[in-house]
Structure 1
Amino acid sequence: MYRDPVESLEPLHHRQAAIRTLRVGMIGIGTVGSGTFRVLARNRADIAARAGRSIELVMVAARNLERAAGIVGDSVALTADPMQVATHPDVDVVVEVAGGTGPARDWVLAAIAHGKHVVTANKALLAVHGTEIFAAAREKGVIVAYEGAVAVSIPIIKALREGLAANRIEWVAGIINGTTNFILSKMRDEGLDFAAALAQAQALGYAEADPSFDIEGIDAAHKLTLLAANAFGMPLRFADAQVEGITALQGMDVACAEQLGYRIKLLGVARRQAAGVELRVQPVLVPAAHLMAQVNGSMNAVMVKSDAAGLTMYYGAGAGSEQTASAVIADLVDVARLDGVHAAQHVPHLGVHAHATNALAVLPRAAVHTSHYLRVPVHAVNQIQAIAASLAEQKVPVRQVALAAERPGMSPQVLVLTGQVEQGTLDLAVHALQARSEVAAPVTTLRVESLEG
C-alpha cells in the first residue's frame, strides 16, 4: 500500500515555520535513491542535529510503485509522475537521482521554477545542461547542490567552495572513475590485457553491460567539468574537454611504465595557465611513489594545488549506494541550513565568475604542455640512439631513453621519457619519427604527470 501524495502531505502545513521539517521529494528510487532513504532513516537523529532541523522524505516518484513501496513502506507518498514531485507545494527540495539528461532537465527546471531547491547526483545532466540550470537557480534564488555527482563519498565540491575558499586554485587532478581505475589496477597487478580486465570488472558489477561512458572517459569528463567550474569560476565546458579513454591501452605499456618507475592512471586534469585552462581526461603515467599511484581498485582520489594551502588530497569510494547517499544527504543538510536566508548567502552554484563574459578559455590540445612517454618499436636494439637523435632534431627534450624488457615474438621497443613540450611539437616529432626506416610499427604516446607542487 502507498499513500495518496496530496492527502499524505497535507498535515505538514501545520508545522511551525521556524523549525519546520525540510520536506524532500525524490525522483528515482534505484541504487542511490534507496541508499538515501536507508541512511536518512537510520541516522535521522544525527542528521537533524547537524542540520538544525529534521529532514524527511515525504514523496517519491518511481516507475515501479510496487517495488518502491517495498523499499519505503507506507510512510512516504508515491507517484508515477516525476513532475508531481517537482511541482508539489509541500515539497521543499527535490532530489533527482533518476539519471539521464533529457526528462531530468525538465524535472529540475520545473522544480526551480516552482522555487524549490535541487539536489542531484546526475553529473551528465549538469555537464550538459548545467549552465542553463544554474542560471535558472540564480534567477529564483534557490540552491542546486551536487556533491554526489563528482566523487561520491569524497566531499570535494565542499572542499573547493568552503575549505579552500581563501585560495587561488592552480590545478585539480583526479582519479574520478572507479571502473577504469579497477581495470587499470587489474592490468598492472595481474598482467591482464584490457579486454580480460574489463570482463572481470563486469562480472563483479564494477562495469555496466555497456561500459562506454566509463572506459571512453566520458564519465570522468563530466565530473572534471564540474570540478573546473568550481575551481576556476568558469562556465561548464564539457564540449571543449579533451577526452581519451583506456580502450586502446595495451598491457605492454602498463608493464613498460612499471619498468620506468611509473603507473598508468586515467586522470582528469584541470590546470590554470596564462592563456586559459587545460581541461583533459586521458591515461597518463604517474610516478609509482606518488600517493596518486597508490589509489587502486575502484577507489577515487582528487588532488588540489592552491596558492595558500599548497597541495591537498582527498580519497574515498567512487561508487556505491550508501556512499553516494552520504553525499546527497550532506547536500540536504546544507539546504536545511541555508533555506530561508537571503539568496546571496547560499553556497555558490559554481565559481564566482561562472557567468562572466570574460571567463577563462579552454586550451586546445596542441597548446597543452606536458612531459610524454613514447614506446617506439624498432628493428634492432642498436637503433636506440637514432630514435633519440630524431626527437632532438624536432626540438623535443629527451630525459630518458631505455630498451623495454624483451618479450617473445616482439621487436625491440625503445622507451622514451621527454621533458616538457607542447603537444603540437610532439605530434610533429612523432610524425617524423614514424617515417624513419628504423621504426617497425606505430609509435605509442602517453602523457606524464608529476603532480608536484
Structure 2
Amino acid sequence: MIEYRNLRVALLGAGSVGAQVAKLLLEHGDELAARVGASLELTGIAVRDVDGPRTADLPRHLLTTDAQSLILGADIVVELIGGIEPARTHVLQALNSGADVITANKALLATHGPELFDAAEQVGAQLYYEAAVAGAIPIIRPLRDSLAGDRVRRILGIVNGTTNFILDRMDRDGGSFQDALATATELGYAEADPTADIEGYDAAQKAAILASLAFHTTVPLEAVHRQGITAITGAEIESARRAGYVLKLLAICERLADPVTGQEGVSARVYPALVSRDHPLAAVHGANNAVFVEAEAAGSLMFYGAGAGGLETASAVLGDLVSAARRHVVGGPGVAESTHADLPVLPIGSITTRYQITLEVADEPGVLARIASLFSEHEVSVETLVQSVAQAGAPARGGARSTATLVIGTHAATDAALAATVAAVAESDVVDAVTSVLRVEGA
C-alpha cells in the first residue's frame, strides 16, 4: 500500500515528446506508482496555446498558459519546451523553488549547463537529462553513474539521426547529398530547416554535454570544433567505399595530452569522418544513433538505438521521472555534477588523427616525389597511395595538361601537422586542386 503523498508533476510543453510523456503518464500512472512508491499526479501542462493542435488527445483541463503557477506548485518539473528562452527562466525558477527538473533540452544544457547545475546544488535539487543526448539510448546514466569510477578515454558518437540517414542513404543507394536530404525531409527525418542537423550544431551541443560528463570538467559549446556534412559528395562516398570505409558524422570526445606542453586536456569535436567498415559504428544505419565508449578498465562499450522520436524520447524522460520520484520517496539531497577535474579544452590542432587526401595533380614525371617531399618536410608519413590517370594519360582538351587523381592516406599525426601539410600541398605548382580532405577515426 502506498503511503507517501502524491508527487506533483508539472509538464512544460506538449509537442511530439511532451504529448507522449503526458499520455504515458496518464495511461500507466498506477504501474509507475507501484515502481516509485508514490502516485505521480500530473497537475498541468504549460502550452503557448491551449487550442493548438496536439499529436495526442490530452485532457483540456490540464492545459494552461500559466507556466509560473504550475512550476511553483510542483515537486518535479519536466521541461520539454526546447530552445534557450523561456526554458532557461522556467528551469531556474523550478530549481530555485526546490523542485527537481527533468529536461531533454540539449541546447539549454550545452549553453547554460554550469549555471543550472549550480542552481540545483545550491538548494539540493536534482537536474536530470537522459533524454538530451541520443533519445531513448541510455548514455547519461552510464557515464554519470556506472563509469564514474573508471577513466573514460574516448567517446565516438553518432548522435544525430538526420545526418546518419543522409550519409547512409548516399552510401547504400548512391546519389547526391541534396537527393538524400530531400528523401530525409520527405520521410520526416529532417526538419523544414535542417541547418542545425546538417551543419553539425545539434551534434556539437551533445558533444559538449558528453565531454563535460565523461571527463568531469566543463566543456563550453564554443570550444567544440564543428564541421557539417553539406560539402560531402557522392564521389567521396564512393572513394570511401573502395578504401573500405564508410562516412559518418561523429561527435568525438577525447582525453589527450597537449603535444606541446604534455599537459592533460580534453577535446570535443564534430566532423564527418571515415570509419572502417569493420568498426561497430559502421553498422549503424538509417536514423539510428550509437555511442561508442572506450574506458580504461571497462574497455569498449557501445550503446545503440533510436536517437529521436516522440515516443522513444519520452521513454528516457519517464526513466528520469521515476528516478526523481524515487529520490523524493527515499529522501536525501540531489547529487551534484562531478566537475572537479577542470581540464583545459585543447584546440583541434592538438588531436592525433589520420587524413585521407584527394588531389588532382599534373600527370608528369617527378610529381609523386615532389608530393612525398612536402609530406616529409611536415613530418607526416604516407600510409597508402592510390593513383588514377585522367583520360588515360592523354593531353586534356584545350591544351591544358593532363591530370591524375591521387588518394593519399596518412599515418597518424597531429591535426596541426596534417593541416599544414595540406596547405603546403595546395600551393604546389604540380597540384591543380585539393578535392577532398577527410579524417579517419575509430582505428
Same fold (TM over 0.5): yes
1:30 counterpart = 2:15: yes
Judged with a 3 Å threshold, the aligned counterparts in structure 2 of structure 1 residues 65 and 290 are, in CA distance, closer, same or farther, namely: same
Deviation, structure 1 residue 384: 4.3
1:231 alignment counterpart: 214
Deviation, structure 1 residue 341: 5.1
> Do the aligned residues in 2 keep the contact of 1:172 with 1:303 (CA within 8 Å)?
yes
Judged with a 3 Å threshold, the aligned counterparts in structure 2 of structure 1 residues 334 and 406 are, in CA distance, closer, same or farther, namely: farther
Determine helix, strand or coil for the equivalent of 1:289. coil
Equivalent residue in structure 1 for 2:375, among 376, 381, 391: 391
Deviation, structure 1 residue 158: 0.9
Judged with a 3 Å threshold, the aligned counterparts in structure 2 of structure 1 residues 162 and 280 are, in CA distance, closer, same or farther, namely: same
Deviations 1:55-102 (A, max 9, x none): 23221111221347972225x532112222222x2x111111011102
Question: What is the CA–CA distance in structure 2 between the aligned matches of 1:118 and 1:407, rounded to whole Å?
Answer: 64
Deviation, structure 1 residue 394: 2.1
Question: What is the CA–CA distance in structure 2 between the aligned matches of 1:297 and 1:411, rounded to whole Å?
Answer: 37
Give, as a single letter, the amino acid of the residue that structure 1 aligns with 2:67.
P
Written as runs of structure 1 = structure 2, the 5 A alignment for 1:296-307 is 296-307=285-296
Equivalent residue in structure 1 for 2:67, among 57, 82, 91: 82
Give, as a single letter, the amino acid of the residue that structure 2 aligns with 1:291.
P
1:255 counterpart = 2:238: yes
Give, as a single letter, the amino acid of the residue that structure 2 aligns with 1:57.
L
Deviations 1:175-220 (A, max 9, x none): 0000000010111112121111111111111111111110111101
1:205 alignment counterpart: 188
2:409 alignment counterpart: 417
1:72 alignment counterpart: 58
Question: What is the CA–CA distance in structure 2 between the aligned matches of 1:51 and 1:411, rounded to whole Å?
Answer: 70
Equivalent residue in structure 2 for 1:429, among 421, 432, 435: 421
Give, as a single letter, the amino acid of the residue that structure 2 aligns with 1:30.
G
Question: What is the CA–CA distance in structure 2 between the aligned matches of 1:290 and 1:163, rounded to whole Å?
Answer: 24
> Do the aligned residues in 1 keep the contact of 2:219 with 2:345 (CA within 8 Å)?
no
Deviation, structure 1 residue 164: 1.9
2:309 alignment counterpart: 320
Deviations 1:94-150 (A, max 9, x none): 111011102110011111111111101110011111111111000011011011111
Tell me which moved more, 100-109 or 39-48: 39-48
Deviation, structure 1 residue 342: 5.5
Determine helix, strand or coil for the equivalent of 1:234. coil
Give, as a single letter, the amino acid of the residue that structure 2 aligns with 1:196.
D
Normalising by structure 1, we get a TM-score of 0.89
Judged with a 3 Å threshold, the aligned counterparts in structure 2 of structure 1 residues 200 and 381 are, in CA distance, closer, same or farther, namely: farther
**Cα root mean square deviation, aligned:** 2.3
Judged with a 3 Å threshold, the aligned counterparts in structure 2 of structure 1 residues 405 and 450 are, in CA distance, closer, same or farther, namely: farther
How many residue pairs get aligned? The number is 427
> Do the aligned residues in 2 keep the contact of 1:166 with 1:308 (CA within 8 Å)?
no
Identity level (%)? 40
Written as runs of structure 1 = structure 2, the 5 A alignment for 1:47-446 is 47-67=32-52, 71-74=57-60, 77-87=62-72, 89=73, 91-274=74-257, 275-339=264-328, 343-344=332-333, 346-348=334-336, 350=337, 352=338, 354=339, 356=340, 359-380=342-363, 383-403=367-387, 412-446=404-438
Runs of 5+ consecutive residues of structure 1 not aligned to the other structure: 1-14
Deviation, structure 1 residue 33: 0.5
Runs of 5+ consecutive residues of structure 2 not aligned to the other structure: 258-263, 397-401
Determine helix, strand or coil for the equivalent of 1:72. coil
> Do the aligned residues in 2 keep the contact of 1:430 with 1:443 (CA within 8 Å)?
no
Question: What is the CA–CA distance in structure 2 between the aligned matches of 1:127 and 1:434, rounded to whole Å?
Answer: 36
> Do the aligned residues in 2 keep the contact of 1:402 with 1:416 (CA within 8 Å)?
yes
Determine helix, strand or coil for the equivalent of 1:65. coil
Judged with a 3 Å threshold, the aligned counterparts in structure 2 of structure 1 residues 385 and 264 are, in CA distance, closer, same or farther, namely: farther
Normalising by structure 2, we get a TM-score of 0.91
Question: What is the CA–CA distance in structure 1 between the aligned matches of 2:193 and 2:310, rounded to whole Å?
Answer: 20
Question: What is the CA–CA distance in structure 2 between the aligned matches of 1:229 and 1:206, rounded to whole Å?
Answer: 28
